[in-house]
Structure formats: structure tokens, C-alpha cells
Amino acid sequence: MPELPEVEAVRRIAERALRGRRIIRAHLSRRRLCAPQTPEEFTRAVAGRRFTSSERRGKNILLHFDEVTLWIHLRMTGRLYPVAGPQLRPASTSAYFLLDDGRTLVFEDPRGLGVMRAAKRDEIEDRLSGLGIDPLSKTFTADALASLARASRGAVKPFLMDQKRIAGLGNIYAAEALFRAGIDPRRKAASLSPARIGRLREAIAQVLVEAVGSAERAYQKPGAFAEGESFHPAVYGREGESCRRCGCTVRRIRQGGRSTYFCPGCQR
């Protein structure tokens, strides 16, 4: 599933395509994409709307138009990008939007799991009200992270992936941030000292900024995306290999039903 950096890359690409543009017409190829809305309700809601701004809430993309917001969740394989015209859309397109400059914004989704809704902005706000703090926002401070950690009873890795606490941070980048901060993923979140909390906050921000740049470059051509293409994980997916920092063997354990990778030599 795309993590925060990939979702942010898609948002930026969509925003550049939509800036100053108006949707002439929308077409849905997969009816359940917008359920419980009908395709007719969806396309009627967005037709003729002019784009105003965009934002990301965790792994959710919000495209704001005059009087309506388009909420998008990419799920496993969703991609959003412009092409010169509708005839160039791929076979796995679930929806496309004809723009007033002649281009087409395509929502490609090979596995057909992505979702979209067109609704008033306050309705979308209500839907997303349970999300936690965004780790790329100005409000994600060491104090904010410390407050969240103190309220946790579990290990730090699953804590970081709890979307009700920190929205958008997934398995890959949680593992990489913990490695950079030198924190054992099994350590209790509430036990972290202020110094360790500070290092962890910095590591999360650094990892995500680097990964966003990597994802955005990888998405430059339709179909060219490869997760973490120029972001080279230090521990994720490297079980049994030597740590590039200390030479210890990278380990993999299970936490909350997910694989956690870490270096027992660097992470305490």
C-alpha cells in the first residue's frame, strides 16, 4: 500500500495538473469507486468545478474545487496523473477527468480498490476527524510526539503506525526512522526519554522528506513508479544482510501482524 511519501507525491502531481483548471466532464469506469454515491451523482457534482487547492491528510488526498471537495484514497495501486487526452488512458483506469486545457487527469487503479467521494468540505472534515497528527506538519513537534507516546502502552513501532495518533506513517518509514534514531522497535513508547523523543521526531521528518522527493521523481512518468526507487532503506527488507553502519545482521520480527526490520547493534 502506498505510504505517506507516495501519497504526497501523487497529491503534488495532481495539484500541478489542476492548478488554474476547471473540470469539463468526469467519467467513471468502475461504478463502486464512488459508492455509496452513484456515478451519476459523482460526475454531476464535479462537472464544471474550478480547482482551488489541495491537501493531504495522512494517506488521504483532498482536491478542493469551488463548492465541492474530491476525497481520494489510493488504497493498494491507485495513481493520479495527467495525460494529453482521454484516448491515452490505460486499460486499468477507474476514472478520468477532462480538463479545460484539453488534458485528462487519470485515476489508474490496476487492482480496483481505490475510492473517491465528491462532497461538501465539512462532510469530508467529519469523515477524517479521527486521524492523528500529520508527521510533516508544523504541529508535529517533539512535545506533541512526547505527549502521544506517554499515552501509549505498547511498543514504539506499532505506536508510530497507529493512524489515530500519527496519520500516514507506515511500515517502511517507521522502521527507517527508528533506525536513524537508534531506537529498538520493541521498546515501550512511553519509556522514551525526551532526548530520544527529539531524535525520533527529527528522524521521522528527515526520512519522510527524503522519501517524498524519491517518490515524486519516480512518479514523473505514468507507470514508472517503483516504491522507494531512489530511497535506499537501511533496514527495511534487508533481513539477514549486514548493517551498513555497524556490520551486525539485520533482523526481522513480527509486531502487530507486520514485519519489523531493525539492527540489534545500532538500535537500543
Residues annotated as catalytic are 2-3, 59, 258
Question: Could you please report the per-residue DSSP string of 117-160?
Answer: EEE-HHHHHHHTTT--B-TTSTT--HHHHHHHHHT--SBHHHHH
Within 13 Å and on the Cβ side, how many CA atoms surround 134? Answer: 18
